[in-house]
Amino acid sequence: MNTILVVDDQATARRLLAHALKPDYRVLEAADGATALERLRDDRVDLVLLDLHLPPDTGIPDEGIRVHRAITGVDPHMPVVITTGDQDRSLALELVRRGVADFLLKPVDPDVLRIVVARALERAGLERELRGLREQVGDRFSLGSLVGESAAMREILPKLERLVRTPTTVLLLGESGTGKSAIARALHWASPRSGGPFVVVDGATIPETLMESEMFGHVRGAFTGADSAKQGRIAMAHGGTLFLDEIGNLSLSAQAKLLLFLDDRAITPVGSNRKIDVDVRLIVATNRDLPRMVAEGGFREDLLFRIQVATVEIPPLRERAQDIAPLAGHFLASLARDLGCARLGLTPAALDRLASFPWPGNVRQLRHVLESALVMARGDVLDAEDLILPDLPVEREGTAETGDRTAVHPDDGPDSASLPLGPLKESVAALERMLLQRALEKTRGNKAAAGRLLGLDENQVRYLCRKYRIP
């Protein structure tokens, strides 16, 4: 049962209010501000019903305002409903704008009282739940959630802690799957902007023809199919953080508009001439060589200068083997929680196998392998044979003169040396699996995007993943 504290210096008014509330609530009473604050400190209170005129003989509501200020000092989230006369309606409305839950005009109608109190309690409960969810998300994506014991991670973390305190643009560099998006989220949730939105623009999955509309929005009739206006991702991120992943995939036209936004912090929707001011913190990421793209004419040099204010390079997982064991433990714990499974450990043989694998898909691939193993696990621990790892790149012989051996990667394209010799059916299956892995690595595990690359729909990609046991 919720507890309501009724604060009114008139005993008759207190009794009437308490009488109307007691069937549904536990009611406490206070005749003055000092008693009310004492009750708040000594008892559990869910809502305060406060008379604006304390004491009444002054004829002004200064004391009620002072008590309200003191209540928020004790509990900043305490819902307060003001009771006042009709002559102070404008003041009561002003207090609502400042954070008071609601107000009631005297004499108070009991039915209206019960509706207002129930509504204020419901709203306070939702706000409390939202704060709890924000705290959970903040803990999950905080800088403390970034796992790593290698020298590289020990160097990166202090730099990220410094970047939290500034609104400057951050450029994250690293191969696909190294954890750039996790670092971007951590920077957001640890920053003063954590109360605002975190909006993602994924340059790898949004078609180039739609990128400008996605980022900057458009007005109705801006192009064929624009039947209604659409808010862009940058505007959605107002007051928070915009994470622009794979910035190297932006067209030169979108790059030019992004540069204008960085210069004047305003956007112009497609098809409009009206500028909209937007306050966002920009974090960008890429796995591409931007200076090389500048030299080849695929990326604007002036934009590169603007986003290079603070650069963080994340090394691939194969270069920080010390992080594999703590990352594996972290993923198994979080996956067990998310999937509702028992938390499993790893045998020494399993850890050795994880440590010896080069992880071309980096941290993301490690998580997928552990998720697959956890779902299919039959015992209390995961052993080496429980870990389904893709075949390593095959080495082919070099020229007879040099005798060099060259590693074959998916990007080199399939040839006879990269496929096992055997019946045609097995060779075709090996080629199919290799192309599927290549597409998934290129799209960072996005099955819909991988399907578009391969000319398949998402269901076909999911079937092939199950067929070849690819996470």
Question: What domains are there in the chain, each with its CATH number?
Answer: 3-137 (3.40.50.2300), 157-315 (3.40.50.300), 320-386 (1.10.8.60), 410-467 (1.10.10)
Residue 436's Cβ-side half-sphere holds a number of Cα atoms within 13 Å equal to 23
pLDDT digits over 196-235, tens only?
999 999 887 888 778 888 889 999 888 888 888 889 999 9
| Tens-binned pLDDT, residue by residue, of the chain (471 aa) | 899 999 988 899 889 999 999 999 999 999 888 888 998 888 889 999 998 877 644 444 567 788 888 888 888 889 999 888 767 777 778 888 878 888 888 888 999 999 999 999 999 888 887 766 665 555 555 555 577 788 888 888 889 989 988 889 999 999 988 989 889 998 998 888 988 999 999 887 888 778 888 889 999 888 888 888 889 999 999 999 999 999 998 889 889 989 999 999 999 898 888 889 999 999 999 999 999 999 999 999 999 999 998 999 999 999 888 999 989 988 898 888 888 888 888 999 999 999 989 998 899 999 999 988 888 887 788 998 888 887 654 444 443 333 343 343 444 444 444 455 556 666 777 788 888 888 888 888 888 888 878 877 777 788 788 788 887
Q: Hey, is 469 helix, strand or coil?
A: coil
pLDDT at position 334 is 84
Task: Using CB atoms within 10 Å of the CB of residue 73, give its burial: 0 to 12 exposed, 13 to 18 middle, 19+ buried.
Answer: exposed
pLDDT digits over 9-22, tens only?
889 988 999 999 99
In sequence order, what are the residues at sequence separation of 6 or more whose Cβ sits closer than 8 angstroms to the Cβ of residue 206?
Answer: 214
Q: What CA–CA distance (Å, rounded) separates 154 from 147?
A: 10
Q: What CA–CA distance (Å, rounded) separates 180 from 314?
A: 7
pLDDT at position 415 is 46
Global pTM exceeds 0.85: no
Q: What CA–CA distance (Å, rounded) separates 119 from 292?
A: 59
Burial string for 95-124 (b: 16+ CB within 10 Å, else e) reads beeeebbbbbbbebeeeebeebbeebbeeb
What's 49's DSSP letter?
E
